[in-house]
Structure 1
């Protein structure tokens, strides 16, 4: 294999995992890790068993209960979602029968797939990881190739250890400069999507680069990569650096040290050519909030609603020319695989400390991204800050990031949320969602209306 030509990071990972090229340009590549969850895990494992196929290497396959589980204190297999218990019990039985690593409902390691994979060091720089979930791209923040796939593809990866990947174009998104105070990785992602559209990354592996990206801590990098699927990217990746290695070192499935020269080669070569380049001045980004029914319907928090699709205006109840600031909200949500890590909770709690949410807020929830994050937050007293302010403090899970037919917000609620999607009904039938950073959620909950976190923090 000729490596004299400068290569991108994603090309390097493809080359090290390549089994063979196939007619038409697709590649058959080795898969290092497969991660399942209970919404799709049982169907994949049961289908394999019915066909008489076994998991080729159970040590490489992990399964967690995160999507269907309730997040109410004292939870078990019972769920508010009709039939939810069946998802849990069937996945448990199938995972145990297959001999894979199961992280059960009340396991100390339980959490959202894309949170605990990095937290436990299951995904590492240079790996190929697949999971039947569109936000698997989150894990590219550690310098891995992380692919969201379907259940049938997960079966193939588990049975054979390889997977056929279609060719993808490459894109580099470079954020130059320095973020202003009060501006976060969530705002970076929403600014990108607003400027270039929800389909702007279609067919591309996106590498995030630049001074502003290198300045982000690991959890913020995960937020940025998480939102790449809302940009329609195939996946996203950030080159690992000393920040990455220090954060991962010594985690359960990670090495104690990253001193092998291999780790230092995981970056795009100087002179590597990308199919598309996008440059954004990070210093010009303000806190962002969505106004419509797509992540691309996002504007600076002090901006005015632009002209958009009539259906989006009708659903969200905002007309062109209206300001977002001061728009009343009924509910607030801090959680999801996008923004439920410890640093997210710390920043939101810093604004809420000594304050109360507005009486008009009918429901306010904090759902930590993992059980470990929940314990760490409690050790710091963050749970007490949230509950004193009027938020409910929950167990870890995907609760109300997407509506699965169980718990919901009060009918007709306008919600300010740290999640990743504001599609019609995403958080429940008729629920109107504005996505923003955890700080903006906290500020808006205090005000009872969409509010600028910079004003409260001042």
Structure 2
């Protein structure tokens, strides 16, 4: 019997298999940031241990960093201590770190792909749930806890049970105005925020062949939002073209050898998945979340469900979500006022995202009631955007143009919502308080967020796109 892509990567990295116990898996790349690593490094000191492969480890500062002037001292002393601690730990254990003033600093799941560190067939871990992003390259990538961070630092291995496999087939074709964010929100909205728990997902079908690498990263990024352990796209020429020439990517004969090996990373025709589902992308429209998990999502022309449309077992969480979001059953999302627009996060802060959002706002002004901000995913993205003049487009429209960081995605830094504020956000989670205590988040694509900034309310961006097309 044939093997799935996941099974091929898994089998290549198993160091030791034990019956009825987790296998020992070799890790190719370990990504580290300032929030989930301090206790892990302290554990090394207490046990008098060293880092096994500093050359397979990379650190960056992203979660707590300010996105405004970095020459000013941090107001939050906890954040300052975490940043200082990471710098000290990396110096002591000889780990490369992209600090606040490094040209490559940025969100951990943005900097690794753009520097050619993320490669097909790898195993990649990080103390962050959205490590699934790297699966866009055909890498087995997943988040780990702090104790596991310490284990990988010490051994370059990790104990793991083998996951079940799930194929998600994207059928049909993308309608006008539907982006990668709409595809993944549409999938989670259809099947629920926990339907993939325990599975490694492979995204397949004719639509996936049309997706750019940055779009694939957006989809894999939100694998965790449906409960999945990891998400995967089989690497292809789109992948290889993206990786080639990157700073840390193989070159010369090593590149030719690598591509030859990467071309074997696909699911065999006779392989069998544990489960298989489909999404007809042709039926999608731009998506907007209305509740407090990404499964509470509908199309822009839709409405908050009515009580009779919700399964009885889900009604308590349904009412709790509406109470928090201050919405009523049957409420139509289009026209709902917003206070803040956030374009950023490891989901949607790459150069393609910024280009698309800039195209919507070019020559127009944001609504005076809206606080709008753009936070590039990395300093490389920021530099490229400025070279293309995107910063001027955003600034002239009324957006704030920031430095790279996780920013308002998680409210762990100065960029947080105030209680009661409603935000059109390109991030990945709309949990209660995720973007700030009492803040209300509506997830959407960069184009949809840009449209909301112009009108001051949740808006169908397709109308603007058609007007701009003439």
RMSD: 1.2
- 4+ runs deviating over 2 angstroms: 76-82, 256-261, 405-411
How far is the alpha carbon of 1:259 from its aligned partner?
Answer: 2.9
1:375 aligned residue: 383
Deviations 1:92-148 (A, max 9, x none): 001110001111111001010000111111121000111000000000001100120
Query: Post-superposition shift, 1:314?
Result: 0.6
For 1:288, the equivalent position in structure 2 comes to: 287
**Distance (Å, rounded) in 1 between the aligned partners of 2:440 and 2:200:** 31
Structure-2 separation of matches of 1:80 and 1:204: 41
Question: Using the alignment, how far apart are the partners of 1:267 and 1:431 within structure 2?
Answer: 42
Residue 109 of structure 1 is matched in structure 2 by 104
- 8 A contact 2:344–2:375 mirrored in 1: yes
Show CA shifts across 1:31-57 (max 9, x none).
111110011222212221221010011
- What TM-score do you get using the length of structure 2 for normalisation? 0.94
Deviation at 1:322, TM superposition (A): 1.2
Secondary structure, counterpart of 1:259 in structure 2: helix
Residues 118 and 134 in structure 2, CA contact (< 8 A), matched pair in contact too: yes
How many Å apart are 1:79 and its aligned residue? 2.2
Q: 1:318 aligns with which of 310, 323, 327?
A: 327
What is the aligned partner in structure 1 of residue 12 from structure 2? 16
1:388: which partner in 2?
396
TM score, norm. by length of structure 1: 0.97
Q: Is the 8 A contact 1:351 1:439 kept in 2?
A: yes
- Contact kept, 8 Å, 1:25 with 1:167, in 2: the verdict is no
Matched, 1:339 2:348: yes
**SS at 1:15 equivalent:** helix
Matches of 1:123 and 1:49, distance apart in 2? 29
Change (3 A) 1:447 1:189: same
Check the 8 A contact 2:374/2:401 in 1, yes or no. Answer: yes
Tell me which of 187, 192, 196 is aligned to 2:182.
187
Cα displacement (A) at 1:172 = 0.6
| Alignment match of 2:123 (pick from 124, 128, 144) | 128
Contact 1:129 1:147 in 2 (8 A): yes
SS of corresponding position for 2:214? helix
**Aligned position for 1:78:** 73
After TM superposition, list the pairs within 5 Å mapping 1:146-295 onto structure 2. Answer: 146-256=141-251, 258-260=255-257, 261-295=260-294
Offset at residue 77 of structure 1 (A): 7.6
Aligned positions, number: 452
CA distance in 1, matches of 2:166, 2:71: 44
* Range that drifts further, 13-22 or 214-223: 13-22
Structure 2 regions of 5+ residues with no counterpart? 307-314
Q: Give the Cα separation in 2 of the matches to 1:156 and 1:410.
A: 38
CA contact (8 A) 1:31 1:128 kept: yes
SS of 2:457's equivalent in the other structure is: coil
Q: In structure 2, what is the equivalent of residue 137 of structure 1?
A: 132
Match of 2:365 in 1: 356
Q: Distance between the aligned counterparts of 2:289 and 2:77, measured in 1?
A: 31
SS state at 1:205 partner:
strand
CA contact (8 A) 1:68 1:79 kept: no
For 1:230 and 1:351, the matched residues in 2 are separated by 27
More helix by share: 2
